[in-house]
Structure 1
Amino acid sequence: MEKDILYREGNFHIRRYSGIPEDALTFLDRIAWGNEGAVYEHKNTEEHIRQLHRPSLIAIYEGEEIRGTAAFCNTPVGANGREFNCFYIRYFASSPAIRGKGVMKNFSIKVMELIREREAAKTVYFACIERDNRGSYRVVESAGYTNIGTIKTMGFSRFFPRLSPRVDTLGSVAERETVLNLLRKHYRGHALVQFNALFLNDDYYVIREGDEIVAGCQYHRVHWVVNRMKGMMGKVIMNVVPLVPLLNQLFNPRRFEFLAFEGIYCKPGYEDRLQELFESLLAQEGLKSSMFWMGETCPHRIAIERYGNPGLIHTFIKDSDVYILAAFQNMDESEIQLVKDSPLYASAFDYI
């Protein structure tokens, strides 16, 4: 795998890989995510990493040991009808061996500088930082990133989900293009719009009225282990819910399996069909709970929330906001403001 040494300082150096090397997969598989709030482990890390869109890994090494990582995924993104080059950051992680020593902060600043210096195109860089992860927030902010908006975590669950005969897959390439056109129009006024994770494993499903698609979404099946949740309510959820029959089918911290929805489309007035779609996909996969992420000011999120009846899991996770921190290269103030002023689009694949 192609690699470059970008920087050296003392016993540390920074490498850039085109792709994700095997030692980074091993490192990331051991990481517990989160900090001051919820702490959890991803149990399908390798599968997801292999599906990242055009990733480059930046790794901080002490000698030959990885101490920190950031994967920069390169893609065009839409922003209120405009298109910009973009690098979004995944797997921003540090080893316990360097936490609290200032190493990650100092080298992250250098990494962000080196990445931006190499780019000639108009480019947006952004990272998703959980609201309670103050350490990562401070590190990314110190590297020149600013908060441009909040992504809300939404939950949907059913104790006894039912299959719907109206739910169907897409039957052709032409139908996929129809869905993409619907989504481009649906999220035209948003920023950071990209659909790279759609149609993975042929898992985009729709409901039609006649020949018209009125609701649709992609799902990803996810497995987490949750080690901690914040606050007194978090302690109750962690310690009591797993002991209560039925409730422990919605949320079991030792094996939390759920569906993550994205590319969500709903024709106005058909919110009931969207919930029917979500419920049927849960039944199809033998699960009770799902999550999805949408911008705080996204009008589609507001419409879905207004419709109501998300299920009990939403109560458990509704305060798990995510901040979007962004930096800009070669963009003028009007272009930057365009991104900042637009509702944000979120791909669930970036959060699982």
Structure 2
Amino acid sequence: MNSSRTLLNYYSLTIEVETSPSEELMEHMHQTVMGQPGGMQYHHTDLEEKMNSGDENYFMYLRKSGKMLGSVGFCSKPNETAGISHDSWLIRYVSIKAPIRGVPEKRKAKADLKDENKRTTVLGRFIQPVFADPAQLREEESRADQPAIIFAIIDQTNLRSMNFSAQMGLETIGSLAAFTFSRLRPRRSGRIESVEEKQQSDILKQIREYYRDYTLFYSDSIFKNNDYYIIREEGRMVAGLQIYQVTWKIVDFGNKLTNRVAGLFTRIPRLKKRIKKDEISFLAFDAIYCEPGREKVLYELMEGVLEQSDHTLAMMMMDLESDLYAIFRDRKKLGVLHKILGTSFADIRVRFIQMPEEVKQTFLEQPTYIPTYDNS
């Protein structure tokens, strides 16, 4: 059930908070083109599911005379870092329907981004207090000194979002790579099994142990639709991953070459049902698990899952400083579509609120867990 309340009134401007996305926001997000010029640009097709997933979401709107000018989504991901329990708010579904004055045309160098929070904009001026104390999103009273972080994944070429995040007090703590794995004719593996419900707690223990040195690990979407797949050796999981089906409506594949190649793919029987001129379907891989020395088994699992689900393409996202990324960086063999689509990079941006210095240092020193489900 959606609840709505007003945080601020200022003449004809209001800041409102709702617990589910409004029809106006849904309509606007369906029209919003994701991606940046020069790269793949697309529309999401599963927004309703994604925007309503999770146990605690808030959508904050800036309205003028009742008309939406902009919105920001806060998705709660409670966590514990260095022994400190804290709120973690993932920022998603930022929607700007009105021009934001003061955003520069040229991207600032990272060294200059820290000065962006001194700028004043229509949207930023009114929502900065919420970024300083996100606990006020909740209707019940919360401690003003409650430790929390706000975090966002922002494409490094996205000028507006990078500058807006700086205005909201976020800083870069790391970077991630988003890349694909493909097999035009994936081979079947007879060793793949799905995880039954009674096995999930034991498998999750292994996954948590694997990501014990990562910050912001959360398991909300692991085992979703019973789609976590593993390969065992001597009764123990040695490779595992969660899959999600994703479809994007394509506006532009990025450049003349990739658009031309995509056109050629639509003529290949094996590919044309998954790659069209205006649509692409793929798997998103999450919560990847690989025991040291079993990298070949992980590749067997990834390829076998593609074959089993009748796909040729999958997407992954991970921290550039993580051991997981090192597997793919060193082993390569990511497939022909990866050579065409390439790798995109994003910054992991965080605002620390009432957070001890040692916890901040942990975020800076340790890799961040990146769930593809929340970012694809």
TM-score, normalised to structure 1, is 0.90
Bigger Rg, structure 1 or 2? 2
Alignment pair present for 1:327 and 2:328: no
Q: Relative to structure 1, is the Cα distance of residues 253 and 98 closer, same or farther in structure 2, using a 3 angstrom cutoff?
A: farther
Distance 2:353 2:33 in 1: 32
CA separation of 1:241 and 1:161: change in aligned 2, threshold 3 A: same
Shift of 1:283: 1.7
Q: Which moved more, 1:246-255 or 1:269-278?
A: 246-255
Contact 1:37 1:133 in 2 (8 A): no
Structure 2 equivalent of residue 162 of structure 1? 187
**Which of 110, 118, 123 lines up with 1:104 in the alignment?**
123
Contact persistence 2:45–2:248 (CA under 8 A):
yes
Question: Within 5 Å, which residues of 2 pair with 1:300-311?
Answer: 300-311=324-335
Residue identity matched to 1:130: D
Equivalent position SS for 1:192: coil
> Aligned with 1:92: secondary structure?
strand
In 2, Cα distance between equivalents of 1:242 and 1:107: 46
Q: Which residue of 2 aligns with 1:12?
A: 13
1:25-55 superposed Cα distances (whole Å, 9 cap, x missing partner): 2332222223445332101111222223421
CA pair 240-164 structure 1, distance change in 2 beyond 3 A: closer
> Is 1:188 aligned to 2:207, yes or no?
no
Q: Which amino acid aligns with 1:255?
A: E
For 1:137, what is the secondary structure of its paired residue?
helix
Distance apart, 1:292 and its partner CA: 0.8
- Report matched runs for 1:47-58 at 5 Å: 47-58=49-60
21-30 vs 102-111, greater mean Cα deviation: 102-111
Tell whether the 8 Å contact from 2:76 to 2:90 is kept in structure 1 after alignment: yes
Is 1:131 the counterpart of 2:124? The answer is: no
Q: Which residue of 2 aligns with 1:34?
A: 35
Residue in structure 2 matched with residue 115 of structure 1 by the alignment: 134
Structure 1 unaligned segments of length 5 or more: list them: none
Q: Report matched runs for 1:1-352 at 5 Å.
A: 1-38=2-39, 39-79=41-81, 83-95=85-97, 97-98=98-99, 102-113=121-132, 115=134, 120-173=145-198, 175-228=199-252, 230=254, 234-244=255-265, 245-246=267-268, 249=272, 251-352=275-376
CA distance in 2, matches of 1:340, 1:114: 22
* Matches of 2:54 and 2:283, distance apart in 1: 18
Cα distance in 2 for residues equivalent to 1:133 and 1:205: 34
Identity of aligned residues (%): 25
For residues 127 and 54 of structure 1, what CA distance do their matches in structure 2 show?
Answer: 17
Q: What secondary structure sits across from 2:78 in the alignment? A: strand
SS at structure 2 position matched to 1:159: coil
Whether the 8 Å contact between 1:53 and 1:196 is mirrored in structure 2 is no
Segment of structure 1 superposing worse, 119-128 or 204-213 = 119-128
CA change 1:317–1:76 in 2 (3 A) is: farther
1:99 deviates by: 5.3
1:186 is displaced (CA, Å) by 0.7
Structure 1 residues 7-16 or 257-266, which shifts more? Answer: 7-16
Deviation at 1:180, TM superposition (A): 1.2
Q: Distance in 2 between matches of 1:37 and 1:111?
A: 34
Amino acid at match of 1:172: E
SS in 1 for 2:35: coil
Question: Displacement, 1:7?
Answer: 1.9
TM-score w.r.t. the length of structure 2 is: 0.85
Q: Assess, with a 3 A threshold, how the Cα gap between structure 1 residues 30 and 10 changes in structure 2: closer, same or farther.
A: farther
Deviations 1:39-75 (A, max 9, x none): 3210111122222342111122233332322211112
Alpha carbons 2:50, 2:374 under 8 Å: kept: no
Q: Within 1, Cα distance between the matches of 2:228 and 2:80? A: 21
**Partners of 1:42 and 1:223 within 8 A in 2:** yes
SS at 2:77 equivalent: strand
Task: Name the CA distance, whole Å, in 1 between partners of 2:343 and 2:351.
Answer: 26
1:225 is aligned with what amino acid? K
Counterpart in 1 of 2:118?
A: none
**Root-mean-square deviation over aligned CA pairs:** 2.3
Structure 2 contact 133–353 (Cα < 8 Å) conserved: no
